[in-house]
Structure 1
Amino acid sequence: MLTVSLHGIKIYAKRGMYAQEQKIENRFEIDVDIMVPAIDTNEIPFVDYSIIRKVVAEMFEKPYDIIEHYIRDIHAGLKQQFPGSEKIKIGIRKMNPPMPGQVGYAQIVFEG
């Protein structure tokens, strides 16, 4: 199996459940790992990084309030672009979420 990763994709968007999150841009960081079968070193499949970035950016154009919806749509979009993938792992971090105290980020991860 071959894993192709694109980590630290930065997206700025006014997304969140709270009114203040919809007024001020939040920073999100997304990590994507796509596992594809590799029969041998002579037949390594090609996974275009730019398509991964494009799918992530397109999904963040949707005005969802919670990041779980983005992870679902990103997974579906990547599965459509890379139908031969065996597994796709996505992590989304919301940097400095609005809450008391100092919090670096909130994160969800989906693998499927």
Structure 2
Amino acid sequence: MNDLTIEVNGLRLFARHGVGEQERKVGNLFEVTVHLRYPADGAIADDRLEDTLNYAEAVAVVREVMTVPSQLLEHVAGRLRMALTRRFPLIAGGMIRVAKLVPPFAADIDSVAVVLRW
């Protein structure tokens, strides 16, 4: 059995995650990267969308989850994992990275992020 990794890299979204009330009120720019291991035999053999994970649907799941505020990026990553594995039960494992691009403190950095692997 073959499995492959389907990648959604650098999806940028506006959301209202953060510990501070002001962060949840004003919002911030986030970047989500999702790598999902999925069985590939059907798609490799038959070239049919129904035999693989539709990445457009995966993006829709991510967008929906990101609309619900969380205090912690860890919680966001966990909710993303739950929603994606519920929608695509054949996911065999993966990685989710959630980055806040403008953290609420003074520092010259690109982002702060959490990575969830399973």
Q: Distance in 2 between matches of 1:35 and 1:49?
A: 12
- Alignment of 1:5 with 2:16, yes or no, is no
**Is the Cα contact below 8 Å between 1:97 and 1:104 reproduced in 2?**
no
- 1:27 equivalent in structure 2: 29
TM superposition shift of 1:58: 1.1
**Is the Cα contact below 8 Å between 1:96 and 1:102 reproduced in 2?**
no
One-letter code aligned to 1:87: G
Higher helix share: 2
Give percent identity, aligned residues only: 26
Structure 2 residue ranges without an equivalent (≥5): none
TM-score normalised by length of structure 1: 0.88
TM superposition shift of 1:96: 2.0
1:1-112 alignment, distance < 5 Å: 1-39=3-41, 41-42=44-45, 45-112=51-118
How many matched pairs?
112
Query: Can you list the C-alpha shifts for 1:53-105, whole angstroms capped at 9, x where unaligned?
Result: 11111111212111111111110111111111111210011002111221210
Q: Distance in 2 between matches of 1:50 and 1:14?
A: 23
TM superposition shift of 1:9: 1.1
After the TM superposition, which parts of structure 1 deviate over 2 Å for at least 4 consecutive aligned residues?
22-25, 37-41
**Is the Cα contact below 8 Å between 1:36 and 1:85 reproduced in 2?**
yes
Please provide the CA RMSD for this pair. 1.8
TM-score normalised by length of structure 2: 0.84
Pick which of 39-48 and 100-109 moved more: 39-48
**Secondary structure of 1:17 counterpart:** coil
Change beyond 3 A, Cα 1:14–1:84: closer
TM superposition shift of 1:43: 5.6
Q: Distance in 2 between matches of 1:56 and 1:33?
A: 12
**Secondary structure of 2:26 counterpart:** coil
